[in-house]
Amino acid sequence: MTGEVLAVNISEKRGEKKKTVEEINLRVGHGIEEDAHAGDWHRQVSLLSLSSFDKMRKLGADVVYGDFAENISVAGIDVFRLPVGTRIKVGEALLEVTQIGKTCHDMGCAIKKQVGTCVMPHEGIFTRVLESGKVKAGDVVKVIAEGSFN
């Protein structure tokens, strides 16, 4: 199963939209350099699929890449269908899925307030970096192995 990176996004603070940048550098045990979610934990890098953006746009949300605070926006793969433990090669980096979805912020995001729902709590995925590397728009996203590797 393969897809493509549509955009790479970072933010200086947690809980805010991310801005699209030309390239990101992922480091083992850290996540994305210069991103607020970097650190030694299980949610180093987040991904969201184009199908999730399309779903929200059909509901009337005017959204662009980074609006859901995802680090990597992808096409060709519904990432939320990948089980925890799946390993995916994204550009030069190797990631492992550690969590699917998340609890929304207490007050809900601006998108949820606008259209009544948000996809990130159900369709965003979180990963940790297994192999360092650079990632940019146009890079290949490839599922290497599905399942748990605990």
The pTM is what? 0.89
At 149, list the tokens.
């590797």
Closest CA to 7 of 49, 59, 51, 61: 49
C-alpha 71 chain-centroid distance: 5
Q: List the chain pLDDT tens, one digit each, 150 residues.
A: 899 999 999 999 887 789 999 999 999 999 999 999 899 999 999 999 999 999 989 988 888 999 888 999 999 999 999 999 999 999 999 999 999 986 665 555 555 555 555 677 689 999 999 999 999 999 999 999 876 554
Task: State the pLDDT at residue 150.
Answer: 47
Query: What's the maximum distance between 2 C-alpha atoms anywhere in the chain?
Result: 40
Q: Which domains does the chain possess?
A: 2-145 (2.40.33.20)
